[in-house]
Structures are given as C-alpha cells and as structure tokens.
Amino acid sequence: MVRTDKQTSRDDSARWIVQFTLADQLYSLPREAVDEIVQMAELVVPPRGPRILAGFLVIGEEFVPVIRTSELFGAAEQQVGLYTPLIVLRGERIRFAIQVDRIDTVSRVPPHDLLPIPAGHSVNECATGMVRIGTETSLLLAADRLMLEEERLRVSELRSIEQARVAAVQEANR
C-alpha cells in the first residue's frame, strides 16, 4: 500500500501528480484527489451491478466501489490480477477506487508543465488538462467527474444494498 500523504514543497505553485497507465495511454490525477494506492484484493461482487463496477473493496468497515476504468474510457478489457493497482480516490460524494494497469510516478509538476485543454473535449469534462513529465504527456483527470451522476447514484445505491446484505449474513452467522 502506498499512502499519498500531503507533501511540502518549496514552490507552492507546483502540483503533485499521480501518473498512471491504462491501455497504453498515460493519465494523471492531482495527488490531493488520491487517498491511497493498493493492490487488488478479493472484492465483494453484487449479483447485478452495472458494467463499470468490478465490485467493492472492503477497507475497514467501508465498502469502497472499484470502478473498471477501461469501461469508463472505452478501452480494451483489463487483465486483472493479484498485482493490479487500485487508486482509491477521495470523491466529493463517494469514495471509490479505479483499476489501472500500472502506477508510473508520483511527481511534483511546475505550472509551465500543466497545460489547459478547451471545454467540451471529454465526457463530463473529466479531462481538465494535460501534464508534461519529462518527455511524456498525460491527460489530467478530475476524480469527481470520472463517473456520470447516474452512475454515481447507482453505485452508491448498490454499496448500501451490499453493506446491508453482508451485515445481515454476518448477524445470521453469530
């Protein structure tokens, strides 16, 4: 598990970025949107969930939805294994994790390497810019815009149902 606790820098205008790969494409997230990075674990899988939902990762007593990022981006289905990284995000309304192929770097990026993109160039405006790190360029994503509102509501509803179901099973087994 990698914690991405707040780090200090001498240049307050620089941003910390978590860069990852999905289907041979580089993406980035602001470090402040990332709670932690963990490896794949056994998921609680609801019987009839939406295609974007891989299942729920249980962290403590919390059921954290794990989103198939390849489904969100229309990429080829991921080969998921024991070492598949999950980026746990601090969503505004719901904490959730995304499956990625690999974590590339956690880097401090100066302002001149953060490039804007015009509005209307991504679904739900989830891409907010581009990031240059060395010779590589990645899309900068907004964690709170990765899912559409309807998807977020459905996942939240399923999370509540699964938590109640598992609690009932545990209570019955006592």
pLDDT at 103: 96
pLDDT tier for residue 48 given thresholds of 50, 70 and 90? confident
Is residue 75 classed exposed, middle or buried when 0-12, 13-18 and 19+ CB atoms within 10 A define those classes? middle
For residue 155, what are the domain limits?
2-172
Chain segment 53-86, per-residue pLDDT in tens = 999 999 988 899 999 988 888 887 878 888 899 9
pLDDT tens track for 132-148: 988 999 999 999 989 88
Contact 28, 113 (CB under 8 A): no
Q: Which amino acid is at 172?
A: A
Return the CATH number at 147.
2.40.50.180
pLDDT at 6: 46
pLDDT at residue 5, as a whole number: 44
Q: How many helices (H) and strands (E) does the chain have?
A: 2, 12
Count the domains in the chain.
1
Instruction: Tell me how crowded residue 66 is: count the other CB atoms within 10 A of its CB.
Output: 26
Stated pTM of the model? 0.85
